[in-house]
A and B are shown apart, each in its own frame.
Chain A
Amino acid sequence: DAGVTQSPTHLIKTRGQHVTLRCSPISGHKSVSWYQQVLGQGPQFIFQYYEKEERGRGNFPDRFSARQFPNYSSELNVNALLLGDSALYLCASSRSSNTGELFFGEGSRLTVL
């Protein structure tokens, strides 16, 4: 079975630009979560979606948004990029919304110049 897939794997943007990151969950998983991992830190929760509805939101500014599509894939959007947004963005999927048993993708490494 295919695991969680994320695209792109690496990207470079400049301050003020917009970025869209994409995630395909494991087949049968209806929940997708997004995490930001800054170098030297653990992953930090951004969003969780389950059955296309937002189920949780972390302490991130409104520049961060996400959505989940009918096929359970998901997009994370970040507007007006700042240097501090440079990080590894992880997508994780799970069967249900209230579990910590997450299956992570390889991540999308964003560099903001």
Chain B
Amino acid sequence: AQSVSQHNHHVILSEAASLELGCNYSYGGTVNLFWYVQYPGQHLQLLLKYFSGDPLVKGIKGFEAEFIKSKFSFNLRKPSVQWSDTAEYFCAVIYGGSQGNLIFGKGTKLSVKP
């Protein structure tokens, strides 16, 4: 079955620490990949996306993600986190031909200590 796995349920970091959140998807065909973020009390919003081309994509607020096709992975990174990055992060995938059916991972809650 098509699925998305996020390896970490809850990550706690101090400010200025580096961040990497893992995401793996199950299918080997054409995929479009996304990271969504939900800040406390706010709605889900798009952080970055990958459709094709350069596998290293940059999003808002200094986040980036790398698509590694051979590993079916799309990990999210940020060199130096801030307290305002405290949020829940969701990896999501559209598999080829499935229209707008986004399949989400379970999410990773990031807590950044000031």
A68 touches B (CB below 8 Å): no
Classify chain A: how many residues form its interface, as a range: 20 to 34
Which residues of chain A are near B94, meaning CB under 8 Å? 100
A3 near B43 with CB under 8 A, answer: yes
A102 interface contact, C-beta 8 A: yes
Residues of B within 8 A of A92 (CB): 44
- A101 near B46 with CB under 8 A, answer yes
Measured between alpha carbons, how far is A40 from B9 in the docked complex, in Å?
A: 9
Asked if residues B104 and A99 are in contact (CB atoms below 8 Å), the reply is no
CB closest residue in chain A, given B97: A98
Most buried by B among A98, A100, A101, A106: A100
Which B residues between 1 and 38 are near A, CB-CB below 8 angstroms? 4, 32, 34
* Interchain nearest-CB distance for B42 vs A (Å): 8
A102 contacts B99, CB within 8 Å?
no
